[in-house]
Amino acid sequence: MTDTPTPKSSNQMWGGRFADGPDAIMEAINASIGFDKRMAAQDIAGSRAHAAMLGATGILERSDVDAIREGLLTVLSEIEVGTFQFSTALEDIHMNVEARLKDLIGDPAGRLHTGRSRNDQVATDFKLWVRDQLDAAERGLLALMRALLAQAEAGADWVMPGFTHLQTAQPVTWGHHMMAYVEMFGRDLGRVRDARVRMNTSPLGAAALAGTSFPIDRHMTAEALGFDTPAANSLDAVSDRDFALEFLGAASICAIHLSRFAEELVIWSSAQFRFVTLSDRFSTGSSIMPQKKNPDAAELIRAKVGRIFGANTALMMVMKGLPLTYSKDMQEDKEQVFDAADNLMLALAAMTGMVSDMTANRESLAAAAGSGFSTATDLADWLVRVLGLPFREAHHITGSLVALAEQKGCDLPDLSLDEMQSAHAGITNDVFDVLGVENSVRSRISYGGTAPERVREQVSRWKDLIS
């Protein structure tokens, strides 16, 4: 940031009441320009909408409005090309823009703030910024879901172990596992979309807190900025930060999902599992161990959840004790939202890249699917279905056969019919049909189950939903 020297005299925006300039420490704690300059485009969009409305309602002369509009466009281009001189003494983006506008167009700049305050201005700017992030999160989620759907479609019938307690539980399909994440990110998508609908009201024109005596048209500015309506209560409008909290809440839950998936990718790409091979593009090597290919992107995604939760907690703490309406505490609402948004978008993009590029190792998945007595439940179900045993008894008999296989160091399908019959005389050769993992997954045809036909139905349902 290029800085202009601190003026010795009082502040040019509100200096009328102040004889002395601020102490350097006061200036340092008070200034937000170091971070809120990220809202420059939103600030100028808000000011342009406000100025146009002041013209349309006859509150300002047309000539002033034209000068303001031209001046604001110049300020925007200076910021975009990087020639704008940001000043800490001018505290925040709102006063930096207005001061530069005054340099450029003189007196009409001083009329821009008619019928508004920095309180409704900052609420408007920040809402516009967060709204853009909700839109970016929606795009990021859709891209990730499409990558997962492609994996699910390719491997709708590939068998793999399903886990509980990270212990082999029952065979499932790769497609089914991918689709579990589609459901999770689909809920994130729903939260992002809900939040956008709820937040889309305009604070502009609430002024400092009480509204204004000027005959402003808040519907006009709301519409110009893409809001559905003006916020209905001026006190609420300037003191509400729910929109940022909802964004962080949705981002936090999404980050949990990203982190859980990242954890699975770390486990699955290890030499002990070999379920997936991550692409070179999303892995790194070790400077000392030549054999290593590390899942760094997944690990970083797993870690990012911490800072996103941190942002959520921090903003809840900032807001929790504030009386209505605006308090300067609320300036502390932005930095961490910016950081959380940046990292959420990066994590979504990195996860999308990893998922698109990764290769599922079908043979390793199938081999693991059959180990760990994963079809024990199928055996118990067979005893119930074919021999009519009560499930508890079937469970007991199956348990004894698992113990026998464990003792022999083999899997359930490797036991002989004699050995099977030692546990229950009624068992026949047909039992071996259900002990294979392929048959096991094909049999789980209940709605939401792992059978390939059910998985393919879910893939096409989601394709329809998000196309």
Residue 119 binds ligand ARG, judged by CB under 6 A:
yes
Name the residue among 431, 435, 419 with its Cα closest to residue 387. 431
The region of 4-12, 118-126, 351-359, 404-412 touching ligand ARG under the rule CB under 6 A is: 118-126
- By beta-carbon proximity to ligand ARG, the closer residue of 91 and 188 is 91
Residue 32 binds ligand ARG, judged by CB under 6 A:
yes
Spell out, one character per residue from 407 to 426, where the chain touches ligand ARG: x when CB under 6 A holds, - when not. Answer: --------------------
- By beta-carbon proximity to ligand ARG, the closer residue of 238 and 266 is 238
The region of 114-122, 301-309, 423-431, 456-464 touching ligand ARG under the rule CB under 6 A is: 114-122
Select from 212, 331, 398, 440 the one that contacts ligand ARG (CB under 6 A): 331
Strand duo 229-230 + 276-277: pairing: unpaired
Residue 118 binds ligand ARG, judged by CB under 6 A:
yes
Asked if 119 contacts 325 with a C-beta cutoff of 8 angstroms, the reply is: yes
For residue 253, the SS3 value is: helix
How many CA atoms, within 13 angstroms, populate the side-chain half-sphere of residue 19?
0
Query: Rounded to the nearest 5°, which phi and psi values hold at 255?
Result: -65, -35
Element containing residue 201 per DSSP (H, E): strand 201-202
Query: Rounded to the nearest 5°, which phi and psi values hold at 217?
Result: -120, 95
- Minimum CB–partner distance for residue 36 and ligand ARG (Å): 6
Name the residue among 367, 350, 175 with its Cα closest to residue 279. 350
- Minimum CB–partner distance for residue 20 and ligand ARG (Å): 18
- By beta-carbon proximity to ligand ARG, the closer residue of 209 and 256 is 209
Q: Exposed, middle or buried by CB within 10 Å (0-12, 13-18, 19+), for 338?
A: middle
Reply yes or no on whether 286 is catalytic: yes
How many CA atoms, within 13 angstroms, populate the side-chain half-sphere of residue 89?
18
Determine the size of the site formed for ligand ARG (CB under 6 A).
Answer: 10
Whose tokens are 């003792």? That residue is: 407
The beta strand positions in 97-166, using DSSP E, are 159-164
Distance CA 403, CA 328 (A): 67
For residue 293, the SS3 value is: coil
- By beta-carbon proximity to ligand ARG, the closer residue of 11 and 364 is 11
Q: Exposed, middle or buried by CB within 10 Å (0-12, 13-18, 19+), for 56?
A: middle
- Minimum CB–partner distance for residue 119 and ligand ARG (Å): 5
* Cis amide leading into 173 (omega within 30): no
Residue 157 binds ligand ARG, judged by CB under 6 A:
no
Residue 330 binds ligand ARG, judged by CB under 6 A:
yes
- By beta-carbon proximity to ligand ARG, the closer residue of 328 and 385 is 328
Among 270, 286, 327, 400, the one annotated catalytic = 286
Residue 238 binds ligand ARG, judged by CB under 6 A:
no
Residue 173 binds ligand ARG, judged by CB under 6 A:
no
The region of 270-278, 328-336, 352-360, 410-418 touching ligand ARG under the rule CB under 6 A is: 328-336
Residue 301 binds ligand ARG, judged by CB under 6 A:
no
Select from 122, 130, 254, 347 the one that contacts ligand ARG (CB under 6 A): 122
Reply yes or no on whether 50 is catalytic: no
- By beta-carbon proximity to ligand ARG, the closer residue of 117 and 173 is 117
- Minimum CB–partner distance for residue 328 and ligand ARG (Å): 6
Name the residue among 447, 465, 439 with its Cα closest to residue 157. 439
Q: 304-333: b or e for each residue (b if 16 or more CB lie within 10 Å)?
A: bbebbbebbebbeebbeeeeebbeeebbeb
Name the residue among 328, 326, 261, 331 with its Cα closest to residue 297. 261
Select from 174, 247, 261, 326 the one that contacts ligand ARG (CB under 6 A): 326
For residue 167, the SS3 value is: strand
Residue 92 binds ligand ARG, judged by CB under 6 A:
yes
The region of 180-188, 324-332, 395-403, 425-433 touching ligand ARG under the rule CB under 6 A is: 324-332
- By beta-carbon proximity to ligand ARG, the closer residue of 99 and 152 is 99
The region of 4-12, 103-111, 116-124, 426-434 touching ligand ARG under the rule CB under 6 A is: 116-124
Residue 124 binds ligand ARG, judged by CB under 6 A:
no
The region of 73-81, 196-204, 323-331, 344-352 touching ligand ARG under the rule CB under 6 A is: 323-331
Distance CA 273, CA 260 (A): 17
Secondary structure percentages of the chain, helix, strand, coil, to 5: 65, 5, 30
Tell me the one-letter amino acid at 435.
L
- By beta-carbon proximity to ligand ARG, the closer residue of 32 and 151 is 32
The region of 2-10, 255-263, 325-333, 393-401 touching ligand ARG under the rule CB under 6 A is: 325-333
Distance CA 348, CA 342 (A): 10
- By beta-carbon proximity to ligand ARG, the closer residue of 337 and 351 is 337
Residues that bind ligand ARG (CB under 6 A): 32, 36, 92, 118-119, 122, 326, 328, 330-331
- Catalytic residue numbers read 165, 286
